[in-house]
Amino acid sequence: MASTSVDLDRDDRERGSIGVDAFVSTPSSARYRNDRFCAALELAVVAAHELDAAAERIPAQRAAADAGLGERIQRDAIVRLRAGATANPGLLALVAEGRFLPPPPAADADAGFVAGGTAPDRAEAVRRALAVPDLLCLIAPQGAARTLTVVEIVRAAADRGDRVLVTAPDSATVDAVVTRLPPGHLVVRADQSGDGDRTLAAAAAETQRGILARSQAAALRLEPWLGEPSPAAGWLRRLGSALAEAEQERSRADVAGAGHDEVAAAARERLGGPVRDQRRVVEVAERAVALAEEAVQRLGASLRRAESSRFGRWRAGRLRTRLAAAVPAAAEAREALARAREEYADRADQLTKEVEQDSAVRAAADHAAFADLAAHRALEAAERSAYRLARLLDGVAKDPGWTADPAGLAGFAEQCDSLEPVLRGRAGLLREWRQRAARPSRQLHAELLRYADVVATTCLGVGRPEHGDLEFDLVVIVDAGRATLPAALVPLVRARRAVLAGDVARAPLREVGSALVPDEVAGLLTQSVLERLLEKAPAANRVRLRAGP
């Protein structure tokens, strides 16, 4: 390309910072080396932007954004790296100084993955990716073997509960991985618009459908409590009306019953002359029996005293004669009493029949029976209303319980009356919430990105402002041999562990030409993140795949 003069100090002057050269005379401590490295990263971002602008090039990852968005996203990642605000606390030391964490014990490295039918080299790559404490370099040329290995890494990590970020320099590479991911996990494409497969819009719509499906049963149970008036309120009013009617009918029945008793008493008084006469006969007979039995007892006692006295023998004979006459007289008196009582019972039965057959009594009895029947029917109507209300309460409120008597039904109506406004409000809120949930909305997008098992986007796409401060357990950068370190930092600062999958390019990523770019900055512009970290990575943090599927 043509020689382009790039003012590398301009951006630092604008931000009040200093260029790379200012760090030459600083102490050789890790802190200053890292500060120098971060300054070089910032200058590399500025230089790349100016070189692209001079060459009238627009990178593919910026096609959907304004010209400076990619630069701002990379600067934000560098700021987080410098401040230590990264998901992996050792990321700055790793990328600046090549300080990798020691590998885990062999037993831990083998845990969490079953190879199955996976090829040995791919199985080893998956095991190493799951076990690496910070970063693994997966060297593999572009092709099915690399794609399938990345898919297996993502699947295995998600299976054990890790949140995974899949990135690449371009959307096509991301698509190649996402389309091969098996179902079972929530996978979201964060950089795709529209409602295509696994896009945010599609995931939001699926989530909304799931929410609506899960709340459908509750909505159906609460539906009868909605409306003015609602069906439930209608049954509650019916219950109240039936109880009021039952109370009125019961009062009428009580009055009618009392009237029947009065008419029957009057008829009994009018027709009861013979019974009263016979009752007097019974009373006379009862007194006669009492006198006769008293005489027998008195004579018997006198006879026993006379017989026990030396001088009472002559008197005992007279007493025996009188007692012999008194005993049959008492027996006759008892027989007369029995006949009088039997006659009284017959006349009383006859009186009862005559009273029942009396026209006035019969009319009063019919009136009382109809009144009692009306009271029972009103209470049955209240019971039916209570039964319908109990069914409407099933599943939406605790069953208050009730009994089919006036007191039990009245208590049930009182409890339903207190529950009705609560359930009506709850039903209204649920309907409104379901209506909002049914409308397309971007409000779910942030939550989907926060809780998705796998998020897929380009390297710069994950840093877009609308995606917020996402963090992941694992980031897999596919085709990392074509991503610069500043661009790769955007996903790297958001993940605790990382896998760089790609091949080492033989040609530089960009031609710097004769631009006035320091060597350190030029290396950041021309060398991929995979190439830079591969040079410093120990053997435990490197794995190579064979070519082919």
pLDDT in tens, 438-484: 776 667 777 888 888 999 999 999 998 877 788 999 999 999 999 99
3-class DSSP state of 467: helix
Weakest mean pLDDT among 245-254, 474-483, 505-514: 505-514
Give residue limits of the domains in the chain: 1-185+453-549, 245-370
> Which structure tokens are listed for 316?
């005992």
Residue 186: exposure state from Cβ atoms within 10 A (0-12, 13-18, ≥19)? middle
Given a contact cutoff of 8 angstroms between Cβ atoms, the answer to whether 417 and 127 are in contact is no
- Asked whether residue 92 carries a pLDDT value surpassing 80, the answer given is yes
20 vs 167: which has the higher pLDDT: 167
Q: Confidence class of residue 280 from pLDDT cuts 50, 70 and 90?
A: very high
Residue 13 has what pLDDT? 40
What share of the chain in percent tops pLDDT 90? 35
Of the candidates 259, 253, 262, which has an alpha carbon nearest to the alpha carbon of residue 369?
253
Whole-prediction pTM: 0.64
What pLDDT, on the 0 to 100 scale, is given for residue 61? 46
Mean pLDDT of 288-309: 86
The percent of the chain in helix, strand and coil, each rounded to the nearest 5, is 65, 5, 25
Q: Return the top range by mean pLDDT from 263-272, 286-295, 415-424, 476-485.
A: 476-485
Strand arrangement of the beta sheet that strand 187-189 belongs to: 187-189, 454-458, 164-168, 472-478, 495-502, 135-139, 542-544
Say what the pLDDT of residue 9 is. Answer: 44
Is 3.10.180.10 the CATH classification of the domain at 1-185+453-549? no
Q: How far apart are the first and last CA of the chain?
A: 38
> What is the reported pLDDT for 93?
93
Cβ neighbors of 233 (< 8 A, separation 6 or more) are 225, 227, 420, 424
Query: What is the phi/psi pair of residue 458, to 5°?
Result: -75, 170
Tell me, what's the pLDDT at 70?
Answer: 87
pLDDT given for residue 11 in this prediction: 42
Among 305-319, 360-374, 414-428, where is mean pLDDT lowest? 305-319
* 283 within 8 A of 342, measured Cβ to Cβ: no
**pLDDT category, 177, cuts 50, 70, 90?**
very high
Contact 400, 416 (CB under 8 A): yes
The two tokens of residue 530 are 């995979």
Look over the chain and give the mean of its residue pLDDT values, rounded to a whole number: 83
Tokens of 350: 């006859």
SS3 category, 456: strand
Per residue in 391-440, pLDDT (tens digit) is 888 888 887 778 888 888 888 888 888 888 888 888 888 888 888 777 76
What does the pLDDT read at residue 16?
Answer: 38
Give the pLDDT score at 305: 82
* Selected residue with higher pLDDT from 222 and 197: 222
The sign one gets for the Cα dihedral 249, 251, 252, 258 is: positive
Among 72-76, 186-190, 246-250, 467-471, whose mean pLDDT is lowest?
A: 467-471
Q: What is the pLDDT of residue 22?
A: 40
Q: Which amino acid is at 465?
A: P
pLDDT mean over 40-53: 83
